[in-house]
A = this chain, B = another copy of it.
Amino acid sequence: MPPKFKAPPEPPDLLTVAGLDGELGFVLRMAQLAVFDDLIGRLKKTGLRPSAVTVLRLVRARPGLNQQQIGDALKIQKPNLVALIGALHKSGLIDRQPSPDDKRSYALHLTEPGKKALAKAMRQLSAHLQWVSGHINEAEQTRLIKLLNCFHAPE
């Protein structure tokens, strides 16, 4: 029988000892930090934050959308959307038309520069998604998203 070599005793990991790396909240936060770190880094080239890109994507998916509907979808409260939408409008990426059927709200549309900017952002998003795929294969990704939806889907 060959002599037994004990593996050198690993120093017990601090997070493990504290029980943090087995807790959903903590792991969720750390994963989000890592994923958004990559995404934000790539979007730097476009001058847009993830939230701005998301707004542009919603407006492209449903031209004529108003702020309230965007806020509901992204769980951003009304006052906090004013600056975000305002900046997109000011930089000429979205257009605000007075809504025909409700004079209180604006119908939002992408401008031509807005479409171009979104296309550029989507190319960066593509690279980001490839980075994600480097960490977790497609099947696992689908499973992960399904599991995460346990929390945000039902509300």
Cβ–Cβ contact A19 & B148, under 8 A: no
Binds B, one of A1-9, A26-34, A90-98, A104-112: A26-34
**CB-CB < 8 A to A14: which residues of B?**
58, 61-62, 65, 69, 73
A18 sits at the interface (CB 8 A): yes
**Identical chains bound together, number:** 2
A45 sits at the interface (CB 8 A): no
Main SS at interface, chain A: helix
**CB-CB < 8 A to A83: which residues of B?**
none
Residue of B nearest to A51 (CB): B29
Residue of B nearest to A137 (CB): B150
Cβ–Cβ contact A31 & B148, under 8 A: yes
Pick from B21, B24, B26, B34: contact of A144, CB under 8 Å: B24
Q: Which residues of A contact B (CB under 8 A)?
A: 14-15, 17-36, 39, 50, 54, 57-58, 60-62, 65, 69, 73, 75, 128-129, 132, 135-136, 140-141, 143-145, 147-152, 154
Evaluate whether A151 and B135 lie within 8 angstroms (CB atoms) in the complex, with A22-B145, A24-B144, A145-B24 already known: yes
Residue of B nearest to A69 (CB): B14
Residue of B nearest to A14 (CB): B73
Cβ–Cβ contact A32 & B30, under 8 A: no
Bound CA–CA A20/B19 (angstroms)? 32
**CB-CB < 8 A to A69: which residues of B?**
14
Evaluate whether A151 and B30 lie within 8 angstroms (CB atoms) in the complex, with A25-B50, A141-B24 already known: yes
**CB-CB < 8 A to A58: which residues of B?**
14, 18, 20
